[in-house]
Chains A and B, each alone.
Chain A
Amino acid sequence: MQVLAILLLFSAFLLTRASRLASAVHILLAQSAMVAAACAVESGGSMHMLIAAVLTVLIKVGLIPKALLRVVSQLKREREVDPIMGPNASSLAAAAAIVMTYAVIDRTLPGGLSWDAVAASLALVFIGLMLIITRRQAIMQIVGLITIENGLYLLGLSTTHGLPMIIELGIFFDVLVAVSVLVILTNRLKKSFQSTDTSILKKLKG
């Protein structure tokens, strides 16, 4: 579990440095695979967790990256050129976030938990949020959103051994639908604006 948590932190760190859309999606794929592995490790043979692990592989390692890569393959000229916060600053912020999450959970949460997993999950949430705020490319923002989702999923896993089955199924369904909706919108952005750089979306004001 600890090894996985550290690998997850590493993947989130890598995301802050990615500027090619395809590599960002590939990192996301690896990250989701690690979340699935963490789920399987934590399961201890319980059926519910194994199903969740299989669903994570199916949806977050299979369907979602596939859909995103299909969009990316049509966006040949798009890449994250001039993010609001550059890769160096983002990496630094991510490192600060990781230190901060360790400091925070040390104080607030009572014992009996796998610290590294909790810290890693909160760091994933923070780094995902940072990607959404500072990246201009639509695909990058979607990657950020799923990173947050992965972080929250890991948090649920490490603190309470996952949410009840029916709620988890609902969340998986929501993630899947959310990505489909976002992919539709990204395609439309490409059609209407000839670009998926979301910084051009600033006409509506006041």
Chain B
Amino acid sequence: MEELIYAALALPLLVGALSMIIAENSAIKVLNISGSLLTGGILLCITGKVVVSGVFASSFMYVDALSALLLLVVAFLSITATLFSASYMDNELARGRVKLSALKRYYALLQLFIFTMIGVLVVENLGLMWVGVETTTLASTLLVAFYFNRSALEAAWKYVMVCNVGILFALLGTIMLYYTQVGVAGTETAALSWTALRAISTQLDPMLVKLAFVFILIGYGTKAGIAPMHTWLPDAYSQAPAPVSGLLSGALLSCVLYVLIRNLVIIQAALTTSFVNYALLAFGIFSVAIAIPFILIQHDIKRLLAYSSVEHVGIVTFGLGIGTHLAAYGVVLHILNHAVVKSVLFYLVGIIGQQYGSKQLSRIRGMFAVLPGIGAMFILAMLAIVGTPPLSIFMSKFTIVLAAFEAGWPVLGSLLLLLLAGVFAGMMFYSTRMVFGTAPRRFVRTSIGKSAIMAVSCSMLWIIITGVYLPPWLQQLLEQAALLVARRG
């Protein structure tokens, strides 16, 4: 098992380094796709082993059902993102928007980014998780700035500044947690180790843990895009190349939520009051609410999807705030579903953007007439993201709302439903306008590329199938993960 984890960590680094050396586009593509497939395969093996034989723990590594689920997300998304990148970047090369030297840099950073996300998920220590999350920011900043034009620079600057400050707050919270741990267990014993902290969590000083919670929520909340710390998010998602937007929104966001959950498990056990729950519920509802005006009045398709990410982080935070077992199940299912659906939406929008030569909502019309296949997948994915039954996200949203009613929060549950109706209206308004209507007269269809089609259809299949059928092993993994997330007692 340990060898598998080391292999999964080493492989992206190796592929990234090799991408810098190779001088030919087609060779780089083959290398990266096979590298990602192999990394994904190893990650799947790790997940499988956890399903079969339970938790794996060594001095630095720790993989349980929750990390295994997230590793599954990263595996799936890194494969689709690399596949999609191959065609996407071919088109960009053909248009002269990027040069070959920039392409090498792109793949090297992409693999580095994947490495950092895997790193966050396999380490056992809260301090090392912090280091990992910070590294994901640094690896992805240059990907956000990839085009190095004015708007990309603006987005990258905001991204790195806001997230760095936020993440330093999380470090402050982590130091406080360590201080409380030292107060109970003394120095030099398994410092900031998650399992050690969990074992003594009920003895930690509640006053300091509460303070630590505030900083940790603000810190990781900034990175996850919880409102009102989400200001960098629409800029970064809209300016990054489409495959990177998909990874940022699908994989990175889930990884940060994972780290937040790991911290919350300790914090909730240490506190006897419901302070944590109230805070999470409030931030969750606020994130959904703040996204609505920006979804209803929007000019840019990628920003529309970015605000939808803020909304979905809000739903997950809300679910964490309820904290019951049912809500926890909804949360882990929602993280998985959102990652797949949102990444495929960003890929589709990448294709659409290249075909229409614009990200402006007003310019994209009549997809059914000119790009029927892409249009159909796009509307289906949009229906999925707003939570239409029987597609996958409906189940997780429904579970979270149901949990709210069951846990005695009927007013908040209804409020969430009302807000979700608002999101539905905005998203559907723009997507029907894009798909139906008359296409621009001067539209020229260019080739899309096989690997992009493959990436997109894999994800679409996943969305359609998991809506009605979850394989038993996945079901088991989700239930075990939910047990870890739920508040004990």
Q: Write the residues of chain A forming the contact surface with B, with a CB cutoff of 8 angstroms.
A: 108, 125, 129, 132, 138, 141, 145, 148-149, 152, 155-156, 159-161, 163-164, 166-167, 170-171, 173-174, 177-178, 181-182, 184-185, 188-189, 192-193, 198, 201-204, 206
Contacts and interface: CB of A to CB of B under 8 A. Distances in A.
List of 4 A-B pairs having minimum Cβ-Cβ separation, nearest first: A170-B131, A167-B127, A201-B154, A164-B191
B34 interface: no
Contact of A108 (B60, B157, B158, B211): B211
B134 A152 contact: no
B36 interface: no
15 contacts: A125-B168, A145-B168, A152-B171, A152-B172, A152-B175, A156-B178, A160-B178, A163-B178, A170-B131, A171-B131, A181-B142, A181-B160, A185-B153, A185-B156, A185-B160
Interface in B115-156: 125, 127-128, 130-131, 134-135, 138, 141-142, 145, 148-151, 153-156
A74 B148 CA distance: 20
Given A108-B208, A166-B125, 18 more contacts: A108-B211, A141-B161, A163-B127, A170-B131, A171-B131, A174-B131, A177-B135, A181-B138, A184-B142, A185-B160, A188-B148, A192-B148, A192-B150, A198-B157, A201-B153, A204-B154, A204-B155, A206-B300
A188 B153 contact: yes
Contacts of A166: 60, 125, 127-128
B235 A204 contact: yes
A202 B238 CA distance: 15
B451 interface: no
A125 B157 CA distance: 21
A164 B60 CA distance: 13
Nearest to B60: A166
Nearest to B294: A206
Contacts of B466: none
A204 B239 contact: yes
Given A184-B142, A204-B235, A159 B153 contact: no
B161 to A, nearest CB: 6
Contact of B138 (A152, A156, A177, A202): A177
B168 A185 contact: no
Given A206-B298, A206-B299, A160 B153 contact: no
A161 B191 CA distance: 12
B164 interface: yes
A163 B187 contact: no
Given A189-B153, A206-B298, A178 B138 contact: yes
Contacts of A129: 165
Most buried by A among B134, B171, B239: B171
Given A171-B131, A178-B138, A159 B175 contact: yes
Q: Is the interface of A mostly helix, strand, loop or mixed?
A: helix
B346 interface: no
A124 B172 CA distance: 13
Contacts of A132: 161, 165
Contact of B134 (A163, A178, A202, A204): A178
B238 A174 contact: no
A185 B239 CA distance: 15
Contacts of B297: 206
B301 to A, nearest CB: 13
Given A138-B157, A155-B172, A181-B141, A160 B150 contact: no
A167 B157 contact: no
Nearest to A148: B168
Contacts of A178: 134, 138, 160, 164
B175 A163 contact: yes
Contacts of B207: 108
Contacts of B182: 160
A189 B157 contact: yes
Given A148-B168, A160-B175, A204 B128 contact: no
A174 B171 CA distance: 12
B88 interface: no
Given A145-B161, A174-B135, A185 B141 contact: yes
A125 B165 CA distance: 10
Given A163-B127, A164-B127, A167-B127, A174 B138 contact: yes
B84 interface: no
B430 interface: no
B128 A167 contact: yes
B164 A171 contact: no
Contacts of A160: 175, 178-179, 182, 187
A57 to B, nearest CB: 21
Interface string B179-213: 10010000100011000000000000001100100
A110 to B, nearest CB: 8
B357 to A, nearest CB: 20
A145 to B, nearest CB: 6
B338 interface: no
A183 to B, nearest CB: 11
A161 B134 contact: no
Contacts of A145: 161, 164-165, 168
A155 to B, nearest CB: 6
B141 A159 contact: no
A155 B157 contact: no
Contact of A171 (B125, B155, B171, B211): B171
B138 A155 contact: no
A76 to B, nearest CB: 21
Most buried by A among B135, B142, B172: B172
B104 interface: no
A166 B191 CA distance: 10
A204 B191 contact: no
Contacts of A170: 127-128, 131
A59 to B, nearest CB: 15
A38 to B, nearest CB: 16
A154 to B, nearest CB: 11
A100 to B, nearest CB: 15
A161 B187 contact: yes
A203 B138 contact: no
Contacts of A184: 142
Contacts of A141: 161
Contacts of A188: 145, 148, 153
